[in-house]
Structures are given as structure tokens and as C-alpha cells.
């Protein structure tokens, strides 16, 4: 039985590595023929980007916050306060000896995926936009659910709080460090 389980894990690991290789490798016959299958496996959880090495790396702190409309066990309809999911991720990383890649990047990458696939009016740009909404919604609901076990989450609303990183003390550059919010519409769960 153990050998069978180890064999299944080995096959799954090899398949994952093959999908990732075909995704990042130059376009070829196999990756063209199976592009949809490869993309379905990679996006959005395993997507790659190089923003850390960009000529202009991000110079903002972006916090993702969520609130929910909940029907309590007693039938009352309540709207929760804003909950800072990014701060919770940061706290979990600070107290973990070996934080996982997911803990560090899941929410940040989901928000980046959403903003990259929507216009200024928060309208999706095609199928990737709809996928990014579904991914972001799934993350938020997953994190809210343990807190509202006695009730039923009806709708959620997300927003970002963006604050520029201040210029170093030795710099003469001035930076606007006011926090700007981007509120998304309510999404039905």
C-alpha cells in the first residue's frame, strides 16, 4: 500500500514538473498542442513572474482587506468590519521558522492577477479576468469561513489600501505616503 501511495505521489510530481517545464519552455509542438491543458494546470496557482527583478520594482505597500455580509444563526443580517488579510499573512510569516511560498505570496499574487486582468472600472478583460475574480473570491471566503461557522456568508467585498514607501531619510525626493483605497463591488458568494 505504501509503495502504491509513493508511486502515485511520484507520478503526480513528475506530471507537475512536466506541466511547469512546458509552460516556461520556448514554444514547441507539444506545448502548442496541449496549451489549454497546460494553462488550466498553471493558472492561477503556479503562474510565474519576474517583478522582483524589474527595472522599477514595486515601491508601494498594498494591503488587501475584506468584509462580509453574514446571515447569523439567529437570522440577523450583519456587515463585518474590514479585515486586513495582508496583515494576517505578514503576522503568520513573522512567527514561522520556515514560511511556505503560499503563505508569502498567495494573496499578493491573486490581487496582482486581478488588477492585471481588469480595467479601471473593475470590469474583467476576458476569461482571465473572470478566473482572477473567482480565485480572489475563493481565497477571501476560505479565510472568512472559520470565523463565521455559525452563520452563512452571503456576500463579500474586497478593497486594497495602497501606501507609497517613503523615500530614504538621506534622499531629497518627496513621496506622497497617504493611503489610497480601491473598493471592489460586492460579490455574491
Question: How far apart, in whole angstroms, are the C-alpha atoms of residue 105 and residue 126?
Answer: 24
The full set of domain ranges for the chain reads 2-42, 51-188
pLDDT mean over 139-145: 90
Q: Is the pLDDT of residue 172 over 90?
A: no
Q: Is the pLDDT of residue 68 over 90?
A: yes
Q: Can you give the chain as a three-state secondary structure string?
A: CHHHHHHHHHHHHHHHHHHHHHHHCCCCHHHHHCHHHHHHHHCCCCCCCCHHHCCCCCCEEEEEEEEEEEECCCCCEEECCCEEHHHHHHHHHHCCCCCCHHHHHHHHHHHHHHHHCECCCCCECCHHHHHHHHHHHHHHHHHHHHHHCCCEEEEEEEEEEEEECCCCCCCCCCCCCCCEEEECCCEEC
- Position 176 confidence tier, pLDDT thresholds 50, 70, 90: confident
User: pLDDT (tens digit, 9 = 90+) per residue, 90-140?
Assistant: 888 887 888 777 777 889 889 989 998 998 888 888 888 889 999 999 999
Q: Is the pLDDT of residue 51 over 80?
A: no
pLDDT at 126: 82
Q: Beta partners for 27?
A: none
pLDDT at 54: 54
Mean pLDDT of the chain: 85
pLDDT at 85: 93
Amino acid at each position: 500500500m505504501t509503495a502504491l501511495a509513493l508511486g502515485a505521489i511520484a507520478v503526480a510530481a513528475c506530471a507537475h514538473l512536466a506541466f511547469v517545464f512546458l509552460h516556461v519552455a520556448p514554444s514547441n509542438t507539444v506545448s502548442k498542442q496541449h496549451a489549454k491543458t497546460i494553462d488550466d494546470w498553471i493558472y492561477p496557482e503556479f503562474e510565474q513572474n519576474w517583478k522582483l527583478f524589474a527595472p522599477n520594482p514595486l515601491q508601494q505597500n498594498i494591503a488587501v482587506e475584506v468584509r462580509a455580509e453574514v446571515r447569523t444563526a439567529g437570522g440577523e443580517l450583519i456587515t463585518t468590519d474590514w479585515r486586513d488579510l495582508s496583515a494576517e499573512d505578514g503576522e503568520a510569516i513573522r512567527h514561522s521558522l520556515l514560511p511556505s511560498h503560499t503563505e508569502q505570496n498567495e494573496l499578493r499574487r491573486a490581487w496582482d492577477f486581478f488588477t492585471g486582468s481588469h480595467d479601471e472600472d473593475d470590469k474583467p478583460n476576458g476569461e482571465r479576468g473572470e478566473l482572477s475574480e473567482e480565485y480572489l473570491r475563493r481565497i477571501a471566503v476560505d479565510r472568512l469561513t472559520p470565523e463565521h461557522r455559525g452563520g452563512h456568508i452571503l456576500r463579500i467585498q474586497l478593497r486594497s489600501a495602497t501606501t507609497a514607501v517613503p523615500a530614504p531619510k538621506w534622499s531629497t525626493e518627496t513621496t506622497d505616503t497617504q493611503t489610497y483605497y480601491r473598493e471592489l463591488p460586492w460579490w455574491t458568494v
